[in-house]
Every structure is written in C-alpha cells, then in structure tokens.
Amino acid sequence: MIMGNGYPAPALGNGEKIQDGLPGDGKLNQPTPMASPGWHQVEEAKPTMEDFTAEDWTLLSRQKKDFYSEHQAEQALGFLRTQEHVESFGYQVNNYRHCLQSATMAYRDGCDEELVVCTLFHDVGYLISPDNHGEFAATLLANYISNKNYWLLKHHQYFLDVHARNHPDLDTAELEKFRGNPFFEHTAEWVRRYDQNSIQSSYDTAPLEFFEPMVKKLFSRPSKGKILNS
C-alpha cells in the first residue's frame, strides 16, 4: 500500500525489513539512552507491551517515578523556554514574555506560589493549541493544584473577551455559560489583574529562573493520579 506522501506503508511490529523508498531515521538497533546510569532496560525481543512481565512493569514504574521526581519540572520549564524567541504577532511582547510578565505581577501582588506558577504556565499551550490553550495548561498542572485554580486555567481564555471591547469579533456568549460557577469571580479578577494587562514592553519582568524553585516545589507534590479535575 502506498501512503499519501508517496512512501509505501511501513510494516508494524513484525520484524519485516523496511520497504524500499521509506526513509529511516538512522536509529535502527540503537537503544535510546537512559536518564540515569543506574537504570536498566527491559530485555530485548519484547516488541509489544503484552510481552512485558510483572517484573518488567515494576522496573519501568520505579524508574519513571524516579525520572518524574527529578525532571518533570525541568521538562515543563523547558517547554516554556522554547518560546523565548518566537514572534509576537504584533503585540509589544511575545507569549513567553507575556507569561513571565503576568507571573511577575501575580508574585508582586502577594499571590501564593501555586497561583504564581499557574499564572506562569497559563498560556504555555497558546502557540500550538490556541483554541484550547486554557485546557492545555489546566491538564499540565491538574494533578498538583486546587480545583479552583484548575478551573481558572481551563476557562480563563473566555474571560478575556470582556476586555477586548473594540474587537470586531467580540463574543461573550460562551462566558455567560459559566456565570454562577463558584470560581467565576476568582477567574474574572485574575484575568483583569494579571492576564489582559501583561503585554507591556516596559514592565520590569522577572526572568524564568526566578520562578524555577516554585515550579519544582509544585511538581514535587504527590500527584492526584489519573483522575483529573472536572
């Protein structure tokens, strides 16, 4: 079968040779490096998850837990840092600076560390998931924050419309659906103070490194697990 890009479809998991015309990535038979010298790999010749033993799963679970405890916060910070030099669409500051500026405002205003970190990451998904960036940020932090701040992150984008009075496509109908929610006013005030006004080119913004200890502290909390906030 030929795929839409003109390459033949690759064989999946049956050991067949890669078909001619399909470019490889040069990593055939090269194991992926592990994060720690003390870690161990699952034995070879186990091409599917169904082949793993209970011992394999115990090993992998322990090593993943070790990785998350040491590096999860760094991964989140690194993702935000990739946006440092991305275009601004014409705003005075780009999304990276907006996130830092809003978090700086929240910190200087005396917000607790959890809300400061939420503010730092509130638009982290804006460049790759613009229409759902609130849900993106909420999911990222869901297992480490309160229900109130989870709701804020998930819905904050709808509250911005009331501050864009001259926007030709202004629509506050979606926002009205949430009125009456116990976290509505908390989110509205947060957007007013730290989101809609953090696009100032002359604001004295703290660097990302300033927030790193707070981010690491948040991610060091016990995870709530797979059941996320609603």
Domains of the chain: 78-84+91-219 (1.10.3210.10)
What is the full DSSP assignment across 84-121? Answer: TT---TTSSS-HHHHHHHHHHHHHHTT--HHHHHHHHH
Using one digit for the tens of pLDDT, what is the confidence trace for 159-177?
A: 998 998 889 988 888 899 9
Please determine, for residue 193, whether its predicted confidence score (pLDDT) is greater than 70: yes
Using the structure block, give the residue that is written with the tokens 């607790």. 112
The span from the CA of 229 to the CA of 138, in Å, is 9
8-33 average pLDDT score: 64
Q: 216 pLDDT exceeds 90?
A: yes
Task: Report yes or no on whether pTM surpasses 0.85.
Answer: no
Distances (CA, A) of 63 to 40, 46, 55, 219: 8, 18, 12, 17
- Check pLDDT > 50 for residue 62: yes
pLDDT in tens, 98-119: 999 999 999 999 999 999 999 9
Place of tokens 């509250």: 159
Q: Which of 97, 82, 214 is closest to 144 using CA atoms? A: 214
Helix (H, G, I), strand (E, B) or coil at 8: strand
Provide the pLDDT for residue 173.
87
User: What is the spatial distance between Cα 111 and Cα 109, in angstroms, rounded to a whole number?
Assistant: 6
Q: What are the distances in angstroms from CA 94 to CA 77, 90, 97?
A: 17, 8, 5
Confidence class of residue 227 from pLDDT cuts 50, 70 and 90? low
